[in-house]
A and B are shown apart, each in its own frame.
Chain A
Amino acid sequence: MKDKVINIIQEIEDIDEDISKIEGLITNGYLDSFGVLSLVAELENFFSVKLNGGSEVIKHLESVDSICKLVESSMEQSNG
């Protein structure tokens, strides 16, 4: 999953750094609002899941690890 998430982010916004190590993808300006929308759409599309977290969802999109956790918990919730 981690590799796929990195690929998705890389495809949305070309980042010349090790994406897996970045904290603050949004707050540090790596992803703009177009990027955030695309990221949510791509994650939901690829993993066939509705991301949970409500209005707080954006706080879980700041790093690859937190995105993976969000996708996993969203998948568990939709399966459960």
Chain B
Amino acid sequence: MKKFSNLGQKFIHIANQYSENIAIRFLDGTKVSYKELDDLSNKYVQYLKEVRIKKGDCISLSSEKRIESYALIASCWKTGITYSFFDRFSPIERLEKILNQCNSQKVIGSEEVKSLLSKDRSNMFLSYEDIKSSIAKFEAHPHKIECEFSGDEVAYVMFTSGSTGIPKGVAIKHSSLVNFTDWTQELYEFNADDVFSHLNPLYFDNSVFDLYSSLFIGASLVAFARDDLKDPGLLVEKVDEFKLSTWFSVPSMIIYLLNLGAISSTSFKYMKRIIFGGEGFPKNKLKELFELIGSRVQLVNVYGPTEGTCICSSYNITSNDFSSDQMNTLAPLGRDMLPIFDYYILDENNKEVEVGEIGELALGGEQLSIGYVGNEVETSRSFILDPIRTNGSNKVYKTGDLVSRASNELIYFAGRKDSQIKFMGHRVELGEIESALDSLCFINESCVVFGGKSDAKQIVAYVSTSFKPSEIKKSLKNLLPPYMIPRKIRVLEVLPKNANGKIDRKALMLELSNER
């Protein structure tokens, strides 16, 4: 396999090789070939130069699945400019925190995004519509697009929840993504005839999987917009209409389709593999899916934190998983991590645990993020010097995920070390929600828990206040994205305390599990 230094070089190579293949399809029938995407991105390269954005700078893009977004991503691949997507439906205060963290030089989106920005910020706003008219003068094939820069340049910054209330921007290098595109192609035997689902929003880490796996092998990506996911029947219909061969989503999305009866044994006619990750897939629901289509579609459980370039382990589900004790409540994460990763399972003193014991997963190797942009404190807390091979300067990322390795080498998820949870695949620090609640002057104290039925867990906030839940929710909507708003808010006179005088989280969890 030819080795490329950066994504730009590899994308140009693929775009030349598969110039007539369709790179991206949209549900309205619009499509763009590799040649068209390459040409358009060349124009954007020239435009970005004209507005003085250069290698190492960061541009923030509104998460909109439109041709211009993908062409801008490709122009960043070619120039070494970093991109970062934001959710335009996120509250303005959170958006400002995100834009500050990554020190964006420009904010790009459709015209209505401008009204979301502060006055200072709107001066650095560029609309897709304006750019479209500005690029007309540029050639699609300028003499030289150099792409001569190191793989150490940051390709994108992906934001995740931060327990202190400030989102963390995970910086991922070009070289890690070049490796990612190599290993996914090899492991899953992807090829240019594959058609990938592109369901996840671009600001969400899971979107990396299909975007990068697809566009670096000459395959097609079918972009589903936010509203396209509302109707499960229609969604499943589109999967067959567009002849999707590879599905990638969080288990919640599949469970949503299962619970609403949208998937039958004849669904997904052209599908070769359904890959899911971002959260655990409860065994009962996975079995339901397996019984419907598992005999003809390979089901794959993947695992990986954003800091490890999307995925670090993969496990093929087989019928053995349901007939043996290989799966207790969740599928194994994998038989070992993928070869490109070094990893340890560590105890509290950063020593490796024995087989069968539970410890914290620490990841090392070239796929690791270089850290959180603009956040040295969190970076040094999570990315530590390799505690086992102490003779070098290599770092490992302490994931906070508790895992165990069984004697058969399968690795199992065993919970979290902290109060981070996964909701609909989104990484959520309950501390960030508590921090938002505590910032409201009418909240005396708060505690946020995650619990309920295994396939319908919910974020529930317990608060002491004289305000109504509806009023609290309204205020939270100005501070948190929709997926972080507690589904239920329970108002108590005072929150229960444990022997140390701290809020008794366990008692509240118990109260939640006793609710009908």
Binding site for B on A (CB under 8 A): 11-12, 14, 16, 26, 32-34, 36-38, 40-41, 45-46, 52-58
Q: Tell me the complex Cα distance, A52–B260, Å.
A: 8
Q: Mark B479-496, 1 if CB is under 8 A from A, else 0.
A: 000110001100000000
- Determine whether the beta carbon of A14 is less than 8 Å from that of B261: no
Report the minimum CB–CB distance from B225 to chain A (whole Å).
13
Q: Is the CB of B516 within 8 A of A38?
A: no
Q: List 23 A-B contacts (CB under 8 A).
A: A11-B488, A12-B487, A14-B470, A14-B473, A16-B470, A32-B482, A33-B229, A34-B424, A37-B256, A37-B259, A37-B456, A38-B456, A38-B487, A45-B456, A46-B516, A54-B233, A54-B264, A55-B261, A56-B233, A57-B261, A58-B230, A58-B231, A58-B260
Closest chain-B Cβ to A9's Cβ sits at a distance in Å of: 12
A45 in contact with B453 given A26-B230, A55-B233 (CB within 8 Å): yes
Given contacts A14-B470, A41-B453, A55-B262, 9 further A-B contacts (CB under 8 A): A33-B230, A34-B424, A37-B255, A37-B456, A41-B456, A53-B261, A55-B233, A55-B260, A57-B261
Q: Are A40 and B458 closer than 8 Å at their CB atoms?
A: no
- Could you say which residues of chain B place their CB within 8 Å of the CB of A38? 456, 458, 487
For residue A41, which residues in chain B have a CB less than 8 angstroms away from its CB?
259, 453, 455-456
Q: Is B232 an interface residue (CB 8 A)?
A: yes
How distant is A11 from chain B, measured CB to nearest CB, in Å?
6
Known: A41-B453, A53-B261, A55-B262. A34 touches B233 (CB 8 A): no
Could you say which residues of chain A place their CB within 8 Å of the CB of B260?
36, 40, 55, 57-58
Q: Is B400 an interface residue (CB 8 A)?
A: no
| Interface residue B451 (Cβ < 8 Å from any Cβ of A) | no
> For residues 165 through 218 of chain B, which have their beta carbon under 8 Å from a beta carbon of chain A?
none
B256 adjacent to A33 (CB under 8 Å): yes
Q: State A62–B458 Cα separation when bound (angstroms).
A: 22
Closest to B259 in A: A40
B139 to chain A: closest CB distance in Å?
43
- The chain A residue with its CB closest to the CB of B237 is A55
In chain B, positions 212-265 with a C-beta closer than 8 Å to chain A are 229-233, 236, 252, 255-256, 259-262, 264
Interface residue? B469 (CB, 8 A): yes
Residue among B252, B470, B473 having the largest count of chain A Cβ atoms under 10 Å: B470
B381 at the A/B interface (Cβ < 8 Å)?
no
A38 to B456, CA, bound (A): 7
Could you tell me the distance in whole angstroms from the C-beta of A34 to the nearest C-beta in chain B?
Answer: 6
Is B259 in contact with A34, judged by CB distance below 8 angstroms? no
The residues of B that contact A37 with a CB separation of less than 8 Å are: 252, 255-256, 259, 456
Taking CB atoms, residues of chain A closer than 8 Å to B233 are 54-56, 58
Say how far A27's CB is from chain B's closest CB, in angstroms.
8
- Determine if B144 is an interface residue (Cβ-Cβ < 8 Å): no
Chain A min CB distance to B496 (Å): 22
Least distance between B423 CB and chain A CB atoms (Å): 8
CA distance A11 to B460 in the complex (A): 11
A34 touches B487 (CB 8 A): yes
Select which of B256, B261, B470 is within 8 A of A54 by beta carbon.
Answer: B261
Q: Which residues of chain B are near A56, meaning CB under 8 Å? A: 233
B440 to chain A, nearest CB (A): 15
- Measured in the bound complex, the distance between the Cα atoms of B467 and A14 in whole Å is 14
Is B453 in contact with A58, judged by CB distance below 8 angstroms? no
Q: Which of A34, A54, A56 gathers most chain B CB within 10 Å?
A: A34
**Which residues in B have their C-beta under 8 angstroms from that of A55?**
232-233, 236, 260-262
Q: Which 10 pairs from chain A and chain B are nearest by CB?
A: A55-B233, A14-B470, A55-B262, A54-B261, A41-B456, A57-B260, A14-B473, A37-B256, A55-B261, A55-B232
Nearest-CB distance from B211 to chain A (Å)? Answer: 21
* CB nearest neighbor in A for B229: A33
B455: chain A residues at CB < 8 Å are 41
How far is it, in angstroms, between the C-alpha of A5 and the C-alpha of B483 when the chains are bound? 23
For A14, what are the chain B residues with a Cβ–Cβ distance below 8 Å? Answer: 469-470, 473-474
Q: Which residue of A lies closest to B236 (CB)?
A: A55
| Contact residues in A for B470 (Cβ distance below 8 Å) | 14, 16
Query: Looking at the complex, which one of B255, B487, B488, B516 makes contact with A45 (CB distance below 8 Å)?
Result: B516
Residues of A within 8 A of B231 (CB): 58
